[in-house]
Structure 1
């Protein structure tokens, strides 16, 4: 596969699922200490990677679990952000300015913090109450953060008696890193063909629902816009028919992301409509991935992980065909925070 190191990839994703070994005891301690609510607060694209876990909690527990923007929280903190709260702070670098500022803000309020970092010897790696460091880089971080935040929520549910299958799911997820390599291998030819097809296109609509909507938003904004300077319009599939449908016409590119959860029909609806009006409907479907030994229950939880693994292959080919490395930015280092 193009620009892919299997051993590195498996090591990183195995490190991500290893968080399952320490989470039950940590969650038990927090709940016994009076934990009442959980917030996920990531800066930029990493926040998208926490949202499937937040969505899972929304439908599985009455305990408040929500997401918030760090830059906004320090100006207008949400109600209940106090010593009975846990804030999860994901940051690959561990040095993200807005998140470091937020950590200081939270500590002053007595809020408990759990950081997820790629580097331990950093402000977020050192100074949070709890830390899980798993080295990763841009091409491997999506799956890593998806898996870690999923396991955080599942362990919370399990300790509250709202999810009985934590050990079984965690055991299946241990097999996932190797299986995701096969997913990538099976998608390689299609990824190369799709990259060749879209390399000169400058606008795409991205849509999805349920657990895969954050990946649609993430790939459009954080990969194609930030890393390739291609204009995109991410829109939730539930909102597609309340505005964006009027932009669909021959030649308009529509990417439909489909998962294996209860919201799949929303993606089907967009696909069925778009195929009537444009010749450029691109469907990425988590259900096409072969994952032997992974139950339907677990598959329903990991659709964004599967799509992230596939899309990394698209990105690997796209940056070569467009002669635009994914690390090239115009303004990133010039932004004043």
Structure 2
């Protein structure tokens, strides 16, 4: 049970910005607690908090005393906590006990102290050194180590590491993602629920289960409505990455049934030049993350007016697109506080695709896909962890590249498009183009040289030979080829008959992490935009 402690024996600051939450952001918890929590998590190499329970107190703030080492203070100026005590439970089951204060009636200071209690030994880190405690035979033994004076300056060491990481093109010892976890935990500690704070992952799990049930009900409702219509055409309609995420519906239905004709159409094109077959026997499936994409909302309204059955994926209940379709289907996308992967767009699209397959073929494939989707997050997390060194190496090698092509075929086309359009171009502002592996030899290959960066996908489906041919060529002509191969993935939890369809989703997680590492290394946030949401189109 690790326990970081930054408890001062009457070392309260005298005011200034320390007592003003609007400027300081908080009291002792943000002043000292963030450092304590960051150090404890870093020593454990585990940045996965599950829930916390904490008490935040004004403490002796209303009783100023000249015994305070920095002198007395004005209680009227104090608008922050002076003490915060609680526990953070990690997903691994490890429990952190956090004790933070500016002023306590205790025998001595325990500043910058972290105690780690393991099954084989214990350690305590304190200013200037550390101890290791354990057993030797029948004896309890504690060994004290004093750090050389030149190694005792944490600030200097942090600055040196940060500067070295820039010079050596590597990640710093403490990454931005880890710092974000610390600040999220701080927000959980200071949630506005009185002096006592409780944030429990079990409550979130229940809410997630409710969302999963809601999504299944929405898909089932759409299926029931489709049963009452003689559906002959299915159109998937959206823009950009939202359209790419709907592509599996086209791909899966094209290969699993001959009962309908399926088309994928950009929303603006659909609106300005609608398909002649659009009408009462059509099902139009749209996707607008915000629910307000003008082209997609206009396409949805047109489809509804033409008598088509309409459904839209969106993350925003009550949005504009929900008002013009027959059936909304909610998914969840929050990079800051991520939802379970099961609630994201791709798993829900796959479940809808197989619900339609069952409707059209009279089969019962959906339950198997639902079960596979429940395992997807663990499979993706394992893959990202296994390929983490390659992702960091990719970022190091490509940090100055201004153009990166992608090459793919089959169902991998949608994830290659997302990597190109949404990650490389939209998020980190690199030139890119999603090349079809089968089209590579019909002109595009002439643009590939020895120094041309390419990311190529190898799936498990029937189009793998198409991708393999492209990879073999690229291995001969460029020194900057990165291959993301589904054959190297551990898909143990996924039924073999579904691996062809699900492997692209795992490759998508890998590709996303490769670009994320590039973003971290270059200091270019994935959320940066010059035009989208900034300039009126």
TM-score (norm 1): 0.90
Partner SS, residue 241 of structure 1: coil
Match of 1:86 among 262, 283, 286: 283
Aligned to 2:298: 101
Aligned equivalents of 1:60, 1:208: Cα separation in 2 = 21
Structure 2: 5+ residue runs without aligned partners?
Answer: 1-46, 48-174, 182-200
How far apart are residue 334 of structure 1 and its match?
4.8
The total of aligned residue pairs comes to 335
Contact 1:12 1:136 in 2 (8 A): no
Q: Does 1:247 align with 2:447?
A: yes
Q: Does 1:131 align with 2:331?
A: no
Match of 1:113 among 295, 301, 310: 310
Per-residue CA deviation, residues 139-198 of structure 1 (Å, 9 max, x unaligned), is 979983222222222111111226543222222222222332222222222211211111
- Bigger radius of gyration, 1 or 2? 2
Aligned equivalents of 2:376, 2:217: Cα separation in 1 = 16
1:302 to 1:81, Cα distance in 2 relative to 1, 3 A = same
Greater fraction of residues in helix: 1
Aligned to 1:297: 497
Aligned equivalents of 1:215, 1:335: Cα separation in 2 = 27
- Stretch of structure 1 that moved more, 264-273 or 177-186: 177-186
Aligned to 2:238: 42
How far apart are residue 14 of structure 1 and its match?
10
- Stretch of structure 1 that moved more, 139-148 or 37-46: 139-148
Partner SS, residue 527 of structure 2: coil
Aligned to 1:53: 249
Aligned equivalents of 2:523, 2:421: Cα separation in 1 = 19
Aligned equivalents of 1:17, 1:265: Cα separation in 2 = 39
Partner SS, residue 276 of structure 2: coil
Match of 1:326 among 507, 512, 526: 526
Aligned to 1:230: 430
Match of 1:27 among 213, 223, 237: 223
Contact 2:233 2:261 in 1 (8 A): yes
Q: Does 1:196 align with 2:393?
A: no
How far apart are residue 218 of structure 1 and its match?
1.9
How far apart are residue 90 of structure 1 and its match?
0.9
Aligned-pair Cα RMSD in Å: 2.7
Aligned equivalents of 1:149, 1:40: Cα separation in 2 = 11
How far apart are residue 232 of structure 1 and its match?
1.2
1:22 to 1:93, Cα distance in 2 relative to 1, 3 A = closer
Contact 1:34 1:84 in 2 (8 A): yes
Structure 1: 5+ residue runs without aligned partners?
Answer: none
Partner SS, residue 114 of structure 1: strand
Partner SS, residue 332 of structure 1: coil
Aligned equivalents of 1:13, 1:50: Cα separation in 2 = 24
Aligned equivalents of 1:106, 1:282: Cα separation in 2 = 42
Q: How is 1:183-222 mapped onto 2 (pairs within 5 angstroms)? A: 183-222=383-422
Contact 2:234 2:282 in 1 (8 A): yes
Aligned to 2:160: none
Aligned to 2:264: 67
Per-residue CA deviation, residues 212-251 of structure 1 (Å, 9 max, x unaligned), is 0121122112211111111112210010000111122211
Match of 2:456 among 256, 263, 269: 256
